[in-house]
Chain A
Amino acid sequence: MRLELERRPRIAWWAELGAPLIALAMTVVIGAILFAALGHPPLRALHAYFIEPLSEIWSLHELTIKAAPLIIIAVGLSVCFRSNNWNIGAEGQFVLGAIFASALPILWPSAAGAWVLPAMLLLGMLGGALWAAIPALLKNRFGTNEILVSLMLVYVAGLFLDWLVRGPFRNPEGYNFPESRNFGADAILPEIISTGIYGGRANYGIVVALIVAVIVWFMLARTLRGFEITITGASPRAARFAGFDSKRTTLFAFLFCGALAGLAGTVEVTGAIGQLRPSISPGYGFTAIIVAFLGRLNPLAIVVAGFVLALSYLGGEATQISLGLTDEITRVFQGVLLFAVLASDTLIRYRVRLTRPHYAAKETAR
């Protein structure tokens, strides 16, 4: 007896739309079981995880701070994944972008003026793109596996950052703490509403994320470049027949995705953090992979998915505080969600059939 997956001839629009929602529902159910197994009343725990972070102004601000990098990276990943380039190293590109951007205020602390922040954003994109170029060029030239190369470069980037903040980038007035100097006012991404009853820490990163999502949606849906990316992923042979060079597409996808990951890194250090530290990301580059798939590689849906995954970070913190659970619960939730997304995506595309080998003799002569 074995399971067979049989491609469904057509997929209803409501199934396309419903799959991520089913995945979310499955995640909540599994989460409830998980909390119960840990000895907490499931409803209260779920409330603490999913509802409480949405009930206060400050935590809504935090939500946008977490969502912005996730959305920016995931939108870039959607370009890569659609073209069948499996960039798993956005985390590293995020870090390199942050390093490139931070180099300006750290090495030139007296720099001031309205040009500083845009220059940092551009530097960040350049850094991320350069880091992403490595797996792309190796893939094109030597046929290396981009998944492995981009993933391994994450750890290189992390160690490089660690060395920088303990060495050349360390704050000379920082009592030997492994941190860079704090960025000047012109190198900080401003807050949207800093005062008043709705005031909080949310910065313009989320605005950047929304603009990026719309631009990339337009590129994918309405331009020849987007067509090239989609067709390369859907059918490489047909893309070659259409006249698109797959190596050029690979390089473009990686550079584009790397630049956005670098932009996200820049938003994070210029906004939420304001300096370089040994660790600047709670795994945004990896979590963004889940965001991209939950958003079905559609930049507009990715905006929604970004907020959902941002909530998973806040929920982890909230249950840590109110229930005393480890914040590893965040990763568990994210992992369960990824499985649920992949499973529901598969099940709407394929029908599962149970087949059994039948030894019973069939009538052959009629």
Chain B
Amino acid sequence: MSEDTLLETRGLTKVFGSLRACDEVSLSLGTGEIVALLGENGAGKSTLVKQLFGALQPDEGEILWRGAPVVMAEPAVARHLGIGMVHQHFSLFEAFTAAENIALGLPDEPMKGLAERARETSRAYGLPLDPYALVADLSVGERQRIEIVRCLLQNPTLVIMDEPTSVLTPQEVDRLFVTLRKLKAEGRTVLYISHKLEEVRALCDRAIVMRAGRLVAEADPKTETAASLAAAMVGGEVPAVRHRAPPPAEAVPALDIAALNTPAEHQFGVSLADISLTVRAGEVVGIAGMAGNGQAELFDCLSGEIATVDGRLQIFGVSAERLGVDGRRALGAAFVPEERLGHGAVPGFDLAENVLLSRHRREDGTVTAGGLLRRGRARRIMRRVVERMDVRSSGDNPPARALSGGNLQKFVVGRELDRAPRLLVINQPTWGVDAGAAANIRQALIDLAATGAGVVAISQDLDELFEIADRIAVIAGGRLSPPEPAATMTREAIGILMGGVHEPADAAPGGETLAT
């Protein structure tokens, strides 16, 4: 802890509906220190930071800047105080040059001489940047430099960085760290949001851990291990582990993948490396991991939305590498993606049409041989799903958009369960779902496995995985650890695997695309 306090919050609280996204957070940032803000997705990091930057107004509590209470009605106020923010997602216009983009972000600065000042600043902080280069021609790392230089040109005393390394190559990360240490040496404060624990250990003086909107721990990252930090992030409570007789090993595997490799689909994507996993009929395999470690890509590979080009993938002994989503569904597989609106369901379609989304094969009875839709049958399935999963909505057949997140998730899960699948792959089964509905969904997954189906549940919620999974594997950096029986798995062991004992897959060649 530093002697001079730069910024302090007292009982900062932000409530969205029934969710306390930020719950009585009190912290202080000293002059000239690098502080890590750790937490899982949804822990409340962004909500907290948005309040520090004036993008959100706290419902309760106050913010003190150099000891005096301040109200930041909008980001411009924060900028005037000397708070700069580098966002995770860049807001740059590709058709403009670096200097023009910087000017757009700094409406108060005179345009004249800005390019030269940008060049000087970038040189001074070891972030080489050509102000006259078109953004479209720049790499991701170079684009981030524009954002950083834009921030530094305002001469901030507090720099907030939101997961700055998630899109950088290892070399670019090293260079960024040099810059951040220089900022610190100049007496500036850096608030560094990340969930890459090794980086935090290497860079930060202090770590603040958030969980479920609360500030739960404060630690010296130099003396902690990555595993102990991970444990603090996911929570230390011991869950009630439900022991169940594992299914016989000799049964035909519901899903069998071996040596599966996939290049990253876009520049922010994760490439999957050497994934192997066998899911027996009648068991639930949980896949844990921090967000953005390849869960979405793994789901797309299993569902067939990304073609399997390198590796083996069998569903009940049938080779499915070359099959698309529909072909895999024909083998008895069902899929529930993480994103409900716009992936698992179409917002503007009514529920009966959303039944057709994954149920338009002849066997579903919703389509005739001639390709005509049987909407009446789709409606019948819809009513069955709504009744079985207790989907609450206004009206008989409302558009998916009109349902709450939890009810839509119940509907999407129910739609797939209604097919009585032999294999279910589900990504974040209860993300954003209230506790009661979440319990129903978990129970439905366990019941499905009891009917002899294989279930793959990808989740960031460890409590959930301990509750439903027979075996748990961890995905980190696009690599999957061998699954271990949940009964013998500890949070500590999962934490170590999450923190990346596996080397992260090489992220250098950004923008790789699949061969077409």
B352 to chain A, nearest CB (A): 11
Cα A112 to Cα B293 with chains together (Å):
70
The answer to whether A235 and B344 touch across the interface, beta carbons within 8 angstroms, is: no
Instruction: Mark out the residues of chain A between 252 and 281 whose CB falls within 8 Å of any chain B CB in the assembled complex.
Output: none
| CB neighbours of B382 from chain A (8 A) | none
A366 at the B interface (CB under 8 A)? yes
Instruction: Mark out the residues of chain A between 224 and 251 whose CB falls within 8 Å of any chain B CB in the assembled complex.
Output: 224-227, 231, 234-235, 237-238, 240-243, 245
Q: In chain A, what residue has the closest Cβ to B306?
A: A240
A53 to chain B, nearest CB (A): 38
Cα A141 to Cα B63 with chains together (Å):
54
Supposing A227-B360, A234-B346 touch, asked if A241 and B325 sit within 8 A by C-beta, the answer is: yes
Stretch at the interface among A30-38, A65-73, A312-320, A357-365: A357-365
The answer to whether B71 and A242 touch across the interface, beta carbons within 8 angstroms, is: no
Cα A222 to Cα B372 with chains together (Å):
6
Q: In chain B, what residue has the closest Cβ to A231?
A: B346
Choose among A9, A227, A359 the residue that contacts B373 (Cβ–Cβ < 8 A). Answer: A227
A7 to chain B, nearest CB (A): 9
Q: In chain A, what residue has the closest Cβ to B12?
A: A364
Choose among B71, B329, B349, B401 the residue that contacts A243 (Cβ–Cβ < 8 A). Answer: B329
The answer to whether B73 and A238 touch across the interface, beta carbons within 8 angstroms, is: no
The answer to whether B71 and A362 touch across the interface, beta carbons within 8 angstroms, is: yes
B469 to chain A, nearest CB (A): 24
Cα A141 to Cα B344 with chains together (Å):
27
On chain B, the number of residues with a Cβ less than 8 Å from chain A's Cβ atoms is 43
Instruction: Mark out the residues of chain A between 282 and 310 whose CB falls within 8 Å of any chain B CB in the assembled complex.
Output: none
The answer to whether B60 and A225 touch across the interface, beta carbons within 8 angstroms, is: no
The answer to whether B402 and A231 touch across the interface, beta carbons within 8 angstroms, is: no
Instruction: Mark out the residues of chain B between 490 and 515 whose CB falls within 8 Å of any chain A CB in the assembled complex.
Output: none
B371 at the A interface (CB under 8 A)? yes
Q: In chain A, what residue has the closest Cβ to B305?
A: A240
| CB neighbours of A10 from chain B (8 A) | 402
A322 at the B interface (CB under 8 A)? no
The answer to whether B60 and A365 touch across the interface, beta carbons within 8 angstroms, is: yes
A55 at the B interface (CB under 8 A)? no
| CB neighbours of B74 from chain A (8 A) | 357-359
The answer to whether B373 and A238 touch across the interface, beta carbons within 8 angstroms, is: no
The answer to whether A242 and B360 touch across the interface, beta carbons within 8 angstroms, is: yes
Cα A364 to Cα B58 with chains together (Å):
7
Choose among B61, B303, B357, B373 the residue that contacts A364 (Cβ–Cβ < 8 A). Answer: B61
The answer to whether B325 and A240 touch across the interface, beta carbons within 8 angstroms, is: yes
| CB neighbours of A110 from chain B (8 A) | none
Instruction: Mark out the residues of chain A between 2 and 56 whose CB falls within 8 Å of any chain B CB in the assembled complex.
Output: 9-10
B347 at the A interface (CB under 8 A)? yes
Supposing A231-B349, A238-B342 touch, asked if A243 and B326 sit within 8 A by C-beta, the answer is: yes
| CB neighbours of A364 from chain B (8 A) | 57-58, 60-63, 69, 71
A223 at the B interface (CB under 8 A)? yes
Choose among B60, B326, B335, B402 the residue that contacts A366 (Cβ–Cβ < 8 A). Answer: B60
The answer to whether A238 and B346 touch across the interface, beta carbons within 8 angstroms, is: yes
B345 at the A interface (CB under 8 A)? yes
Cα A245 to Cα B304 with chains together (Å):
12
The answer to whether B373 and A224 touch across the interface, beta carbons within 8 angstroms, is: yes
Cα A359 to Cα B77 with chains together (Å):
9
| CB neighbours of B60 from chain A (8 A) | 364-366
Cα A238 to Cα B348 with chains together (Å):
12
B359 to chain A, nearest CB (A): 9
Choose among A224, A238, A366 the residue that contacts B345 (Cβ–Cβ < 8 A). Answer: A238
B343 to chain A, nearest CB (A): 5
Q: Which residues of B contact A (CB under 8 A)?
A: 57-58, 60-63, 69, 71, 73-74, 76-77, 303, 305, 324-327, 329, 335, 337, 339, 342-349, 353, 356-358, 360, 367, 371-373, 375, 401-402, 516
Extra 10 A-B pairs, beta carbons < 8 Å, given A231-B349, A235-B347, A362-B73: A10-B402, A222-B375, A227-B356, A227-B360, A235-B343, A238-B344, A241-B325, A241-B358, A243-B326, A364-B60
The 6 closest A-B pairs by CB, nearest first: A243-B326, A243-B325, A235-B346, A361-B71, A224-B371, A237-B343
In the assembled complex, 18 residue pairs joining A and B whose CB atoms fall closer than 8 Å, in A order, are: A222-B375, A223-B372, A224-B371, A226-B373, A235-B343, A237-B339, A237-B342, A241-B325, A241-B335, A241-B357, A242-B325, A357-B76, A364-B57, A364-B58, A364-B60, A364-B69, A365-B60, A365-B61
